[in-house]
Amino acid sequence: MLNDSEVSVKPVAIHDGTANEGLVALDVNSQKITLRDGVFNRGSACIASQASQALATIETQVVRFLTEFRSGQVYIEGYTDNLPVTRPVTNFESFCTVYDDNFTLSAARAREARKFIVGDLAQAFARRVIVAGYGDSQPIPGVAPEDARQRRIEVRFVLPEK
């Protein structure tokens, strides 16, 4: 776990009164940024147009972290609520993925966020940005499993143990 003196990643306020309001939450204690469900189109891995500014802000933080901490890694992790997928989604063009369960959707959303955040990063940086999809297997404690707040992407900044 990182402590405040080790991390120089400076969070930028997302609460700017625009469409980005509420899309991103920062948790300094656990060194993570959470992208809320509104970052993606409903039932889709496509990034919503109003989320571009929020993701660009996160991209800046990721670049700063990877530049400053040469052994640091960034994990982009996808989560869903526990509402089951009732029919497979096969239209990649409309949904930016194909999926038949929540694990696949959560991984696809994490992948799309990674693609946006990594953008034009050098390969040496990009390979330190890792994707995982957890579906509904790790709900937020104290929040109903079907609640929309369970649908999220978490970006974690990690340094190896010394």
- The pTM of the full predicted model, rounded to 2 decimals, is 0.81
Output the six-digit token pair for 161: 């143990």
The vertex-43 CA angle with 49 and 46, nearest 5°, equals: 35
Question: Quick check: helix, strand or coil at residue 49?
Answer: helix
> Could you give the CA distance from residue 150 to residue 136 in angstroms, rounded to a whole number?
8
Q: What is the pLDDT of residue 72?
A: 93
pLDDT of 21 > 70? The answer is no
Q: What is the architecture of the domain spanning 26-158? A: 2-Layer Sandwich (3.30)
Domain spans of the chain, in order of start: 26-158
Nearest residue to 100 via CA among 114, 80, 115: 80
pLDDT tens digits for 54-103? 888 888 889 999 999 999 999 999 999 999 999 999 999 999 999 999 99
pLDDT of 2 > 70? The answer is no
pLDDT of 48 > 90? The answer is no
